[in-house]
Protein backbone atom coordinates (compact mmCIF):
# COMPACT_ATOMS: atom_id res chain seq x y z
CA UNK A 1 0.00 0.00 0.00
CA UNK A 2 1.23 3.48 -0.81
CA UNK A 3 0.80 6.34 1.61
CA UNK A 4 0.63 9.81 0.01
CA UNK A 5 2.26 12.50 2.09
CA UNK A 6 0.99 15.95 1.23
CA UNK A 7 2.83 19.11 2.06
CA UNK A 8 3.03 22.68 0.91
CA UNK A 9 5.34 21.70 -1.97
CA UNK A 10 3.44 18.73 -3.34
CA UNK A 11 2.93 15.06 -2.60
CA UNK A 12 5.26 12.12 -1.98
CA UNK A 13 4.22 8.47 -2.24
CA UNK A 14 5.85 6.08 0.24
CA UNK A 15 5.34 2.29 0.13
CA UNK A 16 4.74 0.30 3.35
CA UNK A 17 8.34 -0.93 3.09
CA UNK A 18 9.57 2.65 3.33
CA UNK A 19 10.54 2.85 -0.34
CA UNK A 20 9.91 6.10 -2.18
CA UNK A 21 7.24 5.42 -4.80
CA UNK A 22 6.80 8.78 -6.43
CA UNK A 23 7.08 12.52 -6.08
CA UNK A 24 4.59 15.03 -7.41
CA UNK A 25 5.79 18.56 -6.76
CA UNK A 26 3.53 21.48 -7.46
CA UNK A 27 4.41 23.90 -10.26
CA UNK A 28 5.75 26.58 -7.92
CA UNK A 29 8.17 24.15 -6.29
CA UNK A 30 9.39 22.91 -9.66
CA UNK A 31 10.17 26.46 -10.78
CA UNK A 32 11.84 27.68 -7.61
CA UNK A 33 13.52 24.72 -5.86
CA UNK A 34 17.05 23.50 -6.44
CA UNK A 35 17.73 19.77 -6.76
CA UNK A 36 19.30 19.52 -3.28
CA UNK A 37 16.22 21.17 -1.75
CA UNK A 38 13.94 18.71 -3.54
CA UNK A 39 16.04 15.82 -2.21
CA UNK A 40 15.79 17.14 1.37
CA UNK A 41 12.02 17.51 0.95
CA UNK A 42 11.72 13.89 -0.21
CA UNK A 43 13.78 12.59 2.72
CA UNK A 44 11.73 14.62 5.21
CA UNK A 45 8.49 13.30 3.71
CA UNK A 46 9.70 9.69 3.96
CA UNK A 47 10.72 10.25 7.59
CA UNK A 48 7.27 11.71 8.35
CA UNK A 49 5.61 8.70 6.72
CA UNK A 50 7.71 6.32 8.79
CA UNK A 51 6.94 8.25 11.98
CA UNK A 52 3.22 8.21 11.18
CA UNK A 53 3.26 4.47 10.49
CA UNK A 54 5.15 3.77 13.70
CA UNK A 55 2.63 5.65 15.80
CA UNK A 56 -0.22 3.84 14.04
CA UNK A 57 1.31 0.42 14.69
CA UNK A 58 2.42 -0.40 11.16
CA UNK A 59 5.55 -2.46 10.53
CA UNK A 60 8.65 -0.88 8.97
CA UNK A 61 11.74 -2.74 7.86
Question: Is residue 59 domain-resident?
Answer: no
Q: Please report the pLDDT score of residue 46 as a whole number.
A: 75
What is the number of domains present in the chain?
1
What's the confidence (pLDDT) of residue 41? Answer: 76
20 assigned to some structural domain? yes
Q: What is the pLDDT of residue 61?
A: 42
Task: Tell whether 60 is covered by a domain.
Answer: no
One digit per residue, pLDDT tens: the chain, 61 residues? 445 555 666 777 766 666 666 777 777 777 777 777 777 877 877 787 777 666 655 444 4
What is the pTM (predicted TM-score) of this model? 0.46
- b/e map 14-48, b = 16+ CB within 10 Å: beeeeeeeebebeeebeeebeeeebeebbeebbee
How far apart, in whole angstroms, are the C-alpha atoms of residue 46 and residue 10?
Answer: 13
pLDDT score of 56: 58
Residue 37, domain extent:
2-53
22: in domain: yes
Is residue 61 included in any domain, yes or no? no
Amino acid sequence: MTEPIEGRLGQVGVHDSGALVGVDLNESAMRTMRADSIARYMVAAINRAQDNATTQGSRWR
